[in-house]
Structure 1
Amino acid sequence: MVARDFANTTQDDTVMVPHVTQLPVFDGIGDDECWEEVEWQTLGQVWIPYGEFVLSDDFSGRYKAVWNYDTNLLYLLVEIRDDVLVDGYRPGDDNYPDFDVLEIFIDEDRSGGLHRIDYGDENAENAFSYHIALDFPEVGETTETFAAMDIAGFWERVDYADHFEHFILRRYEHKLVYEMALKVYDDTYDHDNPEASRVQLTPDKIMGFTMAYCDNDDKEAYPPRREKFYGSVWVPEYAYNSHWKNADYFGVMKLIDESGLVSAEDKIASVVPGDFRLMQNYPNPFNSSTTIEYHLPEASNVRLTVYDVTGREVSVLVNERQSGGYHSVSWNASGFATGVYIFKLQAGEFSTTMKSVLIK
């Protein structure tokens, strides 16, 4: 038996995603040069049944990610080993989690917040939670036909397959290899004009990102029923089936360009946003230390403080004038008690807050 726990079977606290110039060939093999130096990230946390042991020959999952500035795409290579494959989902039905479904949760600016179940439209596109359902091909064959189901408001099911510029799945004996290229959109998304909210990927961009897998091992069950659920990040037990709803707890992904091939002008554009933003700290929840990031559209007098739930100021992290652009600061909370803490960013006349959870 293999223990799945957040100590050794989740993705990195911050997944570093390198810029590549040699793009993958979409054949479902995954042996391209661009993947060779990239670390695997693991889908090893058991969300259902929460925290239990799972035989390694029952399920294992992992992924790699790279990006390219010119194509403006995030590339993903995913390997899933599953001893029993159950398909048959039809777009429009509401039971896609009850089949064997790969899930991708992405929040392009790590602004956090509710993705769905807010009974309103204001947060309906705060993030995307793609549930990739398809009919599995025969062993040795491939398919490019799939649905990427999500909820866009008041439980309205939407197929976002067109967010994937490329997609292929190749089936081996009890192993699936996905290769895909994902377009990234921000929270101004308009279903009638999606390209208006497409985001240009740039170095140092930080996104919320989690991958998960719904696993049904009973081919004969009708209606089908999900038996297991795996994720790439640790979640508390109360959130075992609701991670997709709240982008506050998505994992962290950072785009990097160690080659320096992306121009200085592109980098400047990536770190000088059009408005003030306080990003969700990461990791969150955290133990002892966490990182807070924020954006300033112009030079400002900045004060970043920490409050406990009683409203008492417990720490001042920044109190100075800073240039416009991207900034980050770490908070060492080793001397503080477990609980909820609130970060408050003040920059000129702008003010906003963000909640965080310290767990010891």
Structure 2
Amino acid sequence: MNRILLLVTLLTVVLCITSFAQLNIAIDGQKDDFYKTLTGPDDGHLWIPSAAGNDNGIPDDDWDLSAYLWSAWDETYFYVYEEVSDERVNQNNATNWQNDCLEIKIDPDPYNADGTVWATRLTALDSADVPENVWNGIDNLFAEAWATTERATRADYFKAETDSGYVLELRLKWDWIGTTLKGPVVPEAGTDFGLAYMNHDNDDAAREGSIEWATVLVDAVWNNCGNHGTVILLEGNKLQYLAENIRTGEAYPNPELWIPPGASSVSDRVAVARDYALHQNYPNPFNPATTIDYHVGLDAHVQIGVYNLRGQLIDMLVDRQQPPGTYSTQWRGIDLNGNDVPSGVYLVRMVSGPFERTRKMTLVR
């Protein structure tokens, strides 16, 4: 009997170690091997394209601003690694959120009606890279509504420019993530909490647009927990992203928006871009029709769809296999049923193998 009890105890210890293994991911700007095992939102990997722009403004395309994001957790930390495509990396504003940066908004307890949001931010550049008069615009994980007096240090984040934009890496202690009335988050499998990611884009002197992972793509995730998505901690240090809000029940209508395409990194996408292209429509603005030229680099299935700003499919222009070459298609301002759509800004999105790109179009009736 004692041997059986000992065996059960040992198995319990092994299971606990397996479920809550300390990852000890190095915060060095290099993609950890653990991240390379992740495949999509169901295990902690997100693609945040320009089509996920919000009411701050939508980036011109995925090269103007888009991001791959990987995440993980253990008993001590919430880890995030992000590769950002940004044609111009800027930090020239004394207000942190007006610069290129990643913002993380967390609702530690989405079942609590209190609306307080825990927030932190990591800007793309550091003091050595920007003029002294905009040092106030640098944010290295200073957080609002800290649960403890402890603060992040240089060991908790990494940032660097790359050929195609910048890379950010960070870790947040679970003990930090809480407000006066909510939290901190309990790091165990099955725990869920609200969250929104937002990257800002400064191409001149201030923020011109943002991309986002949330339930409702608006800037107001900073003060409205009802716009957050849901994160569930899973066994094996993985987590799941659900584009729906626990409290309101609202879900983003097109969760496929955040599924990573075939290319596994920003650098891969830059290489693919040499063989593919989705050109800006012309004329733009337009009425009643506009032309879209595109180039296919490989013999592959091509989809070109028109979407509204909520990510809902309006019309499918191309959905077929095509050999390499240059092509054109037209959109006549109609939906899938042939009905005229109202004036406004629409997104045309091309997906073919590892290539994905989005452009904005303006219809004026």
Structure index of larger Rg: 2
Which structure features the higher share of helix residues? 2
Q: TM-score, structure 1 length as denominator?
A: 0.50
For normalisation by structure 2, the TM-score amounts to: 0.49
